[in-house]
Structures are given as structure tokens and as C-alpha cells.
């Protein structure tokens, strides 16, 4: 009996532990106020995770440049926005980015000159499907900071445009929208996906309409609104409406774009052309939607 006593006590304690655990489990979930879906990152890092999210996004940019990137000592030369990540070759953004990334001046001494042989010194961007390499960092960045919109739009752009994965792009954008329900950037990107990948223009128009409403709510009263996004939304909406034969609304949206565009002349010409088509097609004007 004496030899069995410690084992019996151990079994008793184990049963007691199990009973207390089962009793407390439901209460602990209630303490958490139903927020048990928080990611491990959020639990571990708290708000400090946003700093790491930024670093993960920078890493994606480093990969995009195949290792050619300013160090912490050349940070004044680091890209300031994310537009170069989705800029087309030969575009104004791309040219500005090329100028910005010319951060390596002439070497100051023989050590630096020789050291350049062991440093990536050629500016290039990933291509031919290798853009997939930036995706893990973008995924990590989104995990760490779900409120960072650029992470979703950049990842979705490459997923649908170059990697042929529109379903994954849509899923990621929807994840972004769940975390940022009022984001006009995410809605605009979702509209592009419907239009360009699924060729579902009607759905794209609806999403862009919503994006325009969200833009007006959020940016309309700002001193320096995000006019570039407004221009993109309005132009895409106008194109879709033009293809659907809804020239009246297309003109309305092109006028919105022309007001904020840095190069409005081409848009004004298009408006005049559409106006001419509209006048020759129907003498009785319809009421525009906006």
C-alpha cells in the first residue's frame, strides 16, 4: 500500500488538473471576448508587428530588384511608394524609379572599388514568372499588418497578371477586404480582376462604382486627396461603360478623371469624340446615372 500511495496521489492530481482545465476552458474563451481568431503574430508581437510588416514589405521589394537595393545607410534613396512594383515598362513611374535607384555613386577608395565586385550593382526587376518570389514576403507582411492595403494590391496584381492565378488573387483581395472593408484601392483591384481575368464587365462596373463611392466618402473632403486612384477608377469605369454602350455615364466618368488628371487633354479629346457619337446616335438624351 505504501508503495502505491505516490502513484495514487499522482493519478489524483492528474485527474484534478484535467477537471480544472475542462472547467476553465469555456471561461477563458469568454474572457477573450470572442477574439480567439487573432493570428499567432498578433498575440506574440502586439502592435509592434507593424514594424516587422514594413520590413517584410521591403524584403519583397528587395527580391523584386533581385538583390539590388539601398542599404539602411542609403535609405534616402529607397523607393518612397509602391507604384514601381506594378508599373509598366517605359511608364513615367518606371523612369522616375530608374532615376531613384541610381544610388551607388562612384567608389570613394580602392576598398570600396574592389568591394563592389562582391555587391549586386545592376538594377533589374524580376520577370518571366519569377515575380512569384516576392509573394511569401507579401503574405507575411499581410499576416503582420492586415491594414496595409498595398500588400494586397501588389500581391493580387502579380498573381493575376503574370502568374495566372486569378482565383488566389481574388481570395487574397477578399481577405484584404475583410480586414479593410472600406478600401477603395482593394475594390478597384478586385474590379480589374473581374474585368481583365474573368471578363465579367457587369460585376467589374458594380465593384468600381462602389470603389468610387468609397473614394468620395474617404478622400472627398481631404486637402490632398488620392487623385491618382480617382483617375484610375473613373477611367476604368468609363471604359467599361463605353463598351456597354452607356456613353452618357462614360462621359460623366471621363470628366471626373479629366478634372484630376495631370494630362487631361487626351481625356478631353475622348469626351468630345464620345459626345459626337452620342449626338449622332440618339437625339433624345437619357438621364445619366450620376
Min dist. Cβ of residue 277 to other proteins (A): 43
Tell which residue, 93, 111, 109, has the closest CA to residue 101: 93
Min dist. Cβ of residue 107 to other proteins (A): 9
Q: If binding is defined by CB under 8 A, does position 71 make contact with other proteins?
A: yes
* Contacting residue, 2, 27, 88, 117, with other proteins by CB under 8 A: 117
**For 46, left (φ over 0), alpha (ψ -120 to 50), or beta?**
left
Q: If binding is defined by CB under 8 A, does position 106 make contact with other proteins?
A: no
Q: Under a CB-based contact definition with an 8 Å cutoff, are residues 172 and 152 in contact?
A: yes
Q: If binding is defined by CB under 8 A, does position 4 make contact with other proteins?
A: no
Q: At CA 164, angle to CA 97 and CA 66, rounded to 5?
A: 35
Q: If binding is defined by CB under 8 A, does position 143 make contact with other proteins?
A: no
DSSP E strands in the chain: the ranges are none
CA distances from 52 to 41, 57, 144 (A): 10, 9, 7
Q: Under a CB-based contact definition with an 8 Å cutoff, are residues 156 and 189 in contact?
A: yes
Own/partner pairs, 99-102, CB within 8 angstroms, 24+ separation: 101/65, 101/68, 101/70, 101/77
* Contacting residue, 53, 149, 159, 237, with other proteins by CB under 8 A: 159
Q: If binding is defined by CB under 8 A, does position 288 make contact with other proteins?
A: no
Q: Indicate the residue among 162 and 226 with the shorter CB distance to other proteins.
A: 162
Q: If binding is defined by CB under 8 A, does position 208 make contact with other proteins?
A: no
Residues in the chain: 290
Q: If binding is defined by CB under 8 A, does position 181 make contact with other proteins?
A: no
Q: If binding is defined by CB under 8 A, does position 73 make contact with other proteins?
A: yes
Q: At CA 190, angle to CA 187 and CA 195, rounded to 5?
A: 125
Min dist. Cβ of residue 130 to other proteins (A): 8
Min dist. Cβ of residue 224 to other proteins (A): 33
* Contacting residue, 136, 181, 220, 288, with other proteins by CB under 8 A: 136
Q: If binding is defined by CB under 8 A, does position 132 make contact with other proteins?
A: yes
Q: If binding is defined by CB under 8 A, does position 135 make contact with other proteins?
A: yes
The set of cell numbers assigned to 143 is 499576416
* Contacting residue, 93, 94, 168, 219, with other proteins by CB under 8 A: 168
* Contacting residue, 93, 94, 96, 133, with other proteins by CB under 8 A: 133
Q: Indicate the residue among 163 and 177 with the shorter CB distance to other proteins.
A: 163
Cα-to-chain-centroid distance, residue 151: 4
Pick out residues in 231-270 that bind other proteins (CB under 8 A). Answer: none
Q: Under a CB-based contact definition with an 8 Å cutoff, are residues 172 and 159 in contact?
A: yes
Q: At CA 177, angle to CA 171 and CA 183, rounded to 5?
A: 135
First to last CA, the chain: 90
Q: If binding is defined by CB under 8 A, does position 119 make contact with other proteins?
A: yes
Return the range that interacts with other proteins (CB under 8 A); candidates 12-20, 35-43, 155-163, 214-222. Answer: 155-163
Tell which residue, 87, 91, 82, 88, has the closest CA to residue 61: 82
Q: Interface residues with other proteins (CB under 8 A)?
A: 63, 66-67, 71, 73, 108-109, 111-112, 114-115, 117-120, 122, 129, 132-133, 135-137, 139, 155, 159, 163, 165, 168, 172
Amino acid at each position: 500500500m505504501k508503495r502505491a500511495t505516490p502513484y495514487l496521489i499522482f493519478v489524483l492530481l492528474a485527474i484534478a488538473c484535467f477537471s480544472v482545465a475542462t472547467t476553465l476552458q469555456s471561461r477563458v474563451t469568454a474572457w477573450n471576448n470572442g477574439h480567439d481568431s487573432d493570428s499567432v503574430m498578433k498575440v506574440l508581437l502586439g502592435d509592434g508587428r507593424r514594424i516587422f510588416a514594413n520590413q517584410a514589405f521591403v524584403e519583397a521589394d528587395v527580391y523584386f530588384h533581385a538583390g539590388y537595393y539601398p542599404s539602411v545607410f542609403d535609405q534616402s534613396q529607397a523607393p518612397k511608394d509602391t507604384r514601381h512594383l506594378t508599373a509598366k515598362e517605359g511608364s513615367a513611374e518606371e523612369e522616375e524609379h530608374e532615376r531613384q535607384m541610381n544610388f551607388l555613386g562612384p567608389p570613394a577608395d580602392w576598398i570600396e572599388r574592389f568591394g563592389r565586385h562582391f555587391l549586386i550593382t545592376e538594377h533589374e526587376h524580376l520577370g518571366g514568372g519569377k515575380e512569384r518570389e516576392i509573394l511569401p514576403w507579401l503574405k507575411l507582411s499581410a499576416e503582420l499588418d492586415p491594414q496595409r492595403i498595398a500588400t494586397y494590391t501588389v500581391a493580387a496584381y502579380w498573381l493575376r497578371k503574370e502568374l495566372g492565378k486569378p482565383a488566389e488573387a481574388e481570395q487574397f483581395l477578399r481577405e484584404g477586404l475583410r480586414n479593410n472593408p472600406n478600401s477603395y484601392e482593394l475594390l478597384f483591384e478586385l474590379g480589374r480582376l473581374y474585368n481583365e481575368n474573368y471578363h465579367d464587365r457587369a460585376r467589374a462596373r458594380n465593384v468600381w462604382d462602389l470603389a468610387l463611392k468609397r473614394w468620395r466618402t474617404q478622400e472627398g473632403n481631404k486637402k490632398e486627396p488620392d487623385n491618382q486612384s480617382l483617375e484610375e477608377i473613373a477611367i476604368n469605369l468609363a471604359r467599361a461603360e463605353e463598351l456597354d454602350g452607356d456613353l452618357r455615364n462614360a462621359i460623366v466618368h471621363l470628366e471626373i478623371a479629366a478634372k484630376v488628371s495631370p494630362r487631361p487633354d487626351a481625356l478631353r479629346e475622348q469626351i468630345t469624340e464620345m459626345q459626337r457619337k452620342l449626338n449622332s446616335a440618339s437625339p433624345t438624351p437619357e438621364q445619366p446615372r450620376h
